[in-house]
Copies of this chain bind each other. A is one copy, B any other.
């Protein structure tokens, strides 16, 4: 059993749930080297990248400590652990890269963290059908690098790529920076294998399409660990792009690049990366490019088949010109490509006492600019805000994702944090947008999930109760999963 970490205080204290008998049985499954109870392991698995928990952490406070961490190496080991958890009524929290930003991986009720990072093999590459089968714990960066070296791309490049896992992408319903062309994780996943709360292993078939009832993948996409532990997945891959074109355009008003992108997609072209920055984000991220001052910036990465990419570049330029965009070369895109995984500034600011967070929401085109203006205003109206900005990314024929960044140096950080979140969530709900585009629910959004889902919330609770009657899978998460 773990020695309770000395000076650390838990935000969510909980009575112990593990017995020596349980640990002994788990140890028999994974081996003693893969069952950890050291203080360092427990602290490492006490949280994810949730900014509020980082603030707590700097004050010597952590969200909640697990009691042990197991590193299974196979689906069968996961299944055995789950059966033991059911037998001993022990909460289980599946853990991938721990890069979630909403507290979804916090072991609220203690228990056992099942870290899947040792299940990290690429099992099969099917060139003819452009599919790859992997264990769910494979690291995102390693996954993409391995595919690149074989002549493919996975097409899923979230900011968390260096640390996140394929299983985490699925469980948290992720979307990557190249999603406008390659799709979000639900478009990329073809089949999954998972361990359910009763310890049974379920699989879906690797087929291009099936009309045999609701799909298993769809039950697990966005389930954030409360319905099953994903152990394997088969995903689409794509030929490594034959050609890549970088384009940027500057506009006087945010509405114009939105219109340009809407029309490009309406014509049936899907650029891989599309990003529209407002004036405040331009001055934050592109301050070295003086000509962009006071402008909105639209970036594109076009890639794929050479002929298609050339035509896409022509159409993109045509539609941007029509909306009054002035061509601004490759430089801003190169700058973005170079800095896109860099989050060190945020960490520095938090250490300096700032509260900083990002909120991603989405809506249809007809409400996009209103959602932008109203949410920015709502953030600016919160006492303590010194920065509120937004960019649009992840575009669809019917709408787009708005990614907001806010920050302040408030006297009461925690109060400010919830006020800022509340302002955006309530404004979004009022305007009919969705409260999360791709970060998920975790602990933070649990407060608003009922209003987001309406009566369907009760249906999900019934499904959760039917599948996990003991409530041992990541308890306390997702609002409806308590």
> Hey, which bits of chain A sit against chain B, CB under 8 A?
126, 128-131, 172-175, 184, 190, 196, 200-216, 218-224, 227, 236, 238-239, 262, 266-269, 304-305, 307-308, 311, 314-315, 362-366, 394, 396-401, 432-441, 445, 449, 452-456, 458-460, 462-463, 465-467, 478, 480
Take A236-B397, A269-B308 as given contacts and tell me if A205 and B452 are in contact as well, using a CB distance cutoff of 8 Å.
yes
A308's nearest neighbour on chain B, judged by CB, is B268
A434 near B207 with CB under 8 A, answer yes
State A314–B239 Cα separation when bound (angstroms). 20
A212 near B445 with CB under 8 A, answer yes
CB distance from A258 to the nearest CB of B (A): 10
CB distance from A6 to the nearest CB of B (A): 37
B366 near A129 with CB under 8 A, answer yes
Which residue of B203, B206, B266 is within 8 Å of A455 (Cβ)? B203
Q: CB-CB < 8 A to A236: which residues of B?
A: 397-398
A209 near B394 with CB under 8 A, answer yes
Which residue of B173, B210, B315 is within 8 Å of A436 (Cβ)? B210
B449 near A212 with CB under 8 A, answer yes
Q: CB-CB < 8 A to A267: which residues of B?
A: 239, 304-305, 308
State A441–B362 Cα separation when bound (angstroms). 35
B129 near A455 with CB under 8 A, answer no
- A-B pairs with beta carbons under 8 Å apart, 16 shown: A129-B364, A129-B365, A174-B211, A190-B398, A200-B455, A202-B455, A204-B456, A208-B396, A208-B400, A209-B401, A211-B222, A211-B436, A214-B227, A215-B222, A218-B218, A236-B398
Which residue of B203, B208, B221 is within 8 Å of A362 (Cβ)? B208
A465's nearest neighbour on chain B, judged by CB, is B466
A184's nearest neighbour on chain B, judged by CB, is B209
State A204–B399 Cα separation when bound (angstroms). 16
A315's nearest neighbour on chain B, judged by CB, is B307
Q: CB-CB < 8 A to A216: which residues of B?
A: 453, 456, 459
A362 near B210 with CB under 8 A, answer yes
A467 near B456 with CB under 8 A, answer no
Q: How many copies, total?
A: 2
State A460–B205 Cα separation when bound (angstroms). 15
State A46–B459 Cα separation when bound (angstroms). 31
A303's nearest neighbour on chain B, judged by CB, is B268
Q: CB-CB < 8 A to A454: which residues of B?
A: 202-203
CB distance from A370 to the nearest CB of B (A): 12
A364's nearest neighbour on chain B, judged by CB, is B129
State A321–B463 Cα separation when bound (angstroms). 52
B456 near A203 with CB under 8 A, answer yes
Q: CB-CB < 8 A to A315: which residues of B?
A: 305, 307
A211 near B173 with CB under 8 A, answer yes
State A174–B129 Cα separation when bound (angstroms). 23
A102's nearest neighbour on chain B, judged by CB, is B211
Take A434-B210, A441-B213 as given contacts and tell me if A304 and B268 are in contact as well, using a CB distance cutoff of 8 Å.
yes
Take A205-B434, A465-B466 as given contacts and tell me if A196 and B459 are in contact as well, using a CB distance cutoff of 8 Å.
yes
A458 near B200 with CB under 8 A, answer yes
Q: CB-CB < 8 A to A363: which residues of B?
A: 207-208
State A331–B174 Cα separation when bound (angstroms). 46
Q: CB-CB < 8 A to A238: which residues of B?
A: 397
A210's nearest neighbour on chain B, judged by CB, is B434
B213 near A449 with CB under 8 A, answer yes
Q: CB-CB < 8 A to A434: which residues of B?
A: 205, 207, 209-210, 212
A460 near B213 with CB under 8 A, answer yes
B205 near A480 with CB under 8 A, answer no
B467 near A462 with CB under 8 A, answer yes
State A308–B304 Cα separation when bound (angstroms). 14
* Beyond A208-B364, A211-B437, A213-B478, 16 extra complex contacts between A and B, CB < 8 Å: A129-B364, A131-B364, A172-B211, A200-B455, A200-B459, A203-B456, A205-B452, A207-B434, A209-B396, A212-B222, A212-B434, A212-B449, A212-B452, A213-B453, A307-B315, A463-B466
CB distance from A241 to the nearest CB of B (A): 9
State A128–B263 Cα separation when bound (angstroms). 9
